[in-house]
A = this chain, B = another copy of it.
Amino acid sequence: MTPDTAVTPSRPSRKTIATTPSPAPFASPHPAWLPDAALDLVRTGTVAVLGTGRADTIRAELDGAPVAPPDRADLVVAVRDAVATAAELGLAGDLTQPPAHGYAVVREAGRTVVLGADDVAALHGFWAVVRERAVARLRGGDADARGGAADAVTTSAPLQPIRVLDHWDNVAVHPVMGQVERGYAGGSIFYAAGEVRADLSRVRAYARLLAATGVDDVCINNVNVHAREAQLLTDDLDGVARIAAELRAHGITTHLAVSFGAPVLLGDLDTADPLDPAVAAWWADAVARVYAAVPDFGGFVVKADSEGQPGPFAYGRTHADGANLLARALAPHGGTLVWRAFVYDHHQDWRDRRTDRARAAHDHFTPLDGEFEPNVVLQVKHGPLDFQVREPVSPVLAAMPRTRVALELQVTQEYTGQQRHVCWLGPWWEEILGFRLDGARTVAQIVAGQDGSNPAGGVAAVSNVGADEFWTGHPLAQANLYAFGRLAWDPTLAATDVLDEWIALTFAAADDAALRRLRDVLHRVMDDSWRRYEGYTAPLGVCFMVNPGDHYGPAVDGYEYSPWGTYHFADRDGIGVDRTRASGTGYTGQYPAPWRDVYESVETCPDELLLFFHHVPYGHVLHSGATVIQHVYDSRADAVEQLTEVEEAWSSLSDLVGGALPAAFDARVRERLAEQRRSAVEWRDQVRSAFFRRSGVPDASGRTIY
């Protein structure tokens, strides 16, 4: 080591003495999937908007298009009940009845008429027309640009009654978790400097983006409710009402995360016991004040007895007691109580191999099935652990037929590259939503209560949005936000089609040739990005090989001896968690047929989940034909090699930069691709080296190992 090269020279930063930061003014944010060019697709003819409370909102989108009478306008957007006859809209025959909460799009004689079941549905229908025209252009060229020539009536309604984005935003900057817990896109759009922002223009712009996807609800604060944030329920209701007004303009309902301990934390009570009448009275009063400020308030989200948050266990009560307390306070106002099922022992002993965190939600909640009030929704993470890059679907989703159960996804990429890596989550969610958990019904159908055998819950996700210029840190992570809304509305969509939609809208300003190239490159960059991320990170269903704390980089044993219940038990001979009934924790027994047996057997367990369910020797041969250890070696190296193709694909667009591809967008993507490569190489080398050091098995491919 020589002084000139080995030590990083550090120049002093000029005048870096800290001052309290004032909230940064928003740069004009990237338009995401609603650039002007996308709206231009519906401004090509005459328009009419009638009978909807969101009429002004829709008219603003159509600004510049000439208005015509509704029986002649090229594009009409209406609420069904405001229209008496088809003739009023210049249509032949009977007037189509849109489905509940949905819309109909009638194409007749070159005209397009949107009929919403209500005014929010009309707004959704309007955005559907925009989207369809953009996609038609992407796929078919100009011939379809105005919605296709053929007459047709299409209808659409959301499968899920609740489609909510949860924000883990803190009002005050948390000393450890920051302004947005697990947020990778700058500060909060709702809060700055410990208060609700004065300028909420970004909130309104966000609501507009969401309205164009299908999201209906937003919970505006972190489920880990710290002291400052708890006050949103009381002292800050004015601020909540201001946020709600912005969201409402685009049909989004506001929810709050509240602390189960609020009566003690905020009130004058000595207890938060759910069976104490004074506690119930406190909540009833608190809820009444919320509805006085926000008449269309959606309800509460609660994380109780989870990772240190207060809950009913402290009073010897059940989670049904706890949830019902708040549900009863909300019920007279029509509010919903969302209760998270993410309850487990976070003080587990790593020496204890009988306790299995994966079992916890099922063990805790299924005995309570049928005990919840009708306005309680139990929110269940898609996997039994915590948003890992690969987990099996949580069996709890199919285990509570008398309870409204909602599926929780994570748009924020806590364990999937933190919006520094490209990781398009559409394919992962498509798998989850389409997974036939009870052998017959998909997860989407179950949580929607589609066949009537259980009540409807919905879908939820943690948002990935912040005050960042591109909303999501990585510009391509916008597609995840878009996809969540679209799949929440219609979970039968194919991820690849959703990606087409996002591309068609986002790059609506591109000419046809550029748009085709962008589509091709974005699919090459994004289609396999989730599996590629899995490829260079943790293998075969192993979880939590991440740095404790930030959850970003690799740490093979980072959680191995921790109290968090997150182990892989890798030794010199093998790896994985035995969760079988035969010899392990019995977690497989929580699944209905056929999965209880599929996962139980090492022969039938899918490769990608093998180490989640089984502890096997490194020499175990996968269905793929590779040994476990060679798979660990190969997948990591292969995935990094694929990044070269990704980078080359992106670089091939260089002649479009400044034109169809905005320069700032390109620059941000390139910066992130560089970090993705650095991080992916680190993952590859650490994981390969750690398992080589343990197993002693050489890499048959001969690639470098350290």
Q: Interface of A with B (CB < 8 Å)?
A: 1-4, 6-18, 172, 175, 227-228, 230-231, 259-262, 264-265, 270, 272, 305-306, 308-311, 313-314, 318-319, 343-347, 350-351, 355-356, 359-360, 363-364, 549, 554-557, 561, 569-573, 682, 685-686, 689-690, 692-696, 706
Contact = CB atoms under 8 A, between A and B. Distances in A.
Given A10-B310, A571-B696, A572-B693, A18 B227 contact: yes
B14 A313 contact: no
Given A313-B9, A345-B6, A17 B227 contact: yes
Contact of A571 (B314, B555, B685, B694): B694
A542 to B, nearest CB: 15
A264 B305 contact: no
A11 B261 contact: yes
B11 A310 contact: yes
Contacts of A314: 9-11
A511 to B, nearest CB: 45
A575 to B, nearest CB: 10
A1 B360 contact: yes
Contacts of A264: 11-14
A684 to B, nearest CB: 11
Nearest to A693: B571
Nearest to A271: B11
Nearest to A172: B18
Given A1-B355, A10-B309, 16 more contacts: A3-B364, A6-B360, A7-B344, A9-B314, A10-B305, A10-B311, A11-B310, A14-B264, A18-B228, A350-B706, A351-B706, A554-B561, A561-B690, A571-B692, A571-B696, A572-B694
Contacts of A265: 12-17
A13 B309 CA distance: 10
B259 A12 contact: yes
A472 to B, nearest CB: 26
Given A227-B17, A572-B694, A696-B573, A8 B347 contact: yes
A33 B637 CA distance: 61
Contacts of A345: 1, 6-8
A272 B14 CA distance: 11
Given A6-B360, A313-B7, A12 B261 contact: yes
Contacts of A172: 18
Q: Most chain-B CB neighbours within 10 Å: which of A3, A314, A343?
A: A3
A120 B168 CA distance: 60
Given A1-B359, A557-B557, A305 B9 contact: yes
A4 B364 CA distance: 9
A692 to B, nearest CB: 8
Contacts of A360: 1, 6
A13 B360 CA distance: 26
A2 B230 CA distance: 29
A569 to B, nearest CB: 8
Nearest to A352: B706
Contacts of A306: 7
A350 B314 CA distance: 47
Nearest to A175: B175
Nearest to A305: B7
B572 A696 contact: yes
B346 A8 contact: yes
A227 B1 contact: no
Nearest to A227: B17
A554 B560 CA distance: 11
Nearest to A681: B351
24 contacts: A3-B318, A6-B345, A7-B306, A7-B344, A9-B313, A10-B305, A10-B308, A10-B313, A12-B261, A12-B262, A12-B264, A12-B272, A13-B264, A17-B265, A350-B706, A549-B549, A554-B561, A556-B557, A561-B685, A561-B689, A561-B690, A569-B693, A570-B693, A571-B693
A151 B259 CA distance: 76
The 8 A-B residue pairs whose C-beta atoms are closest, nearest first, are A12-B261, A571-B693, A9-B314, A12-B310, A17-B227, A9-B313, A11-B314, A572-B572
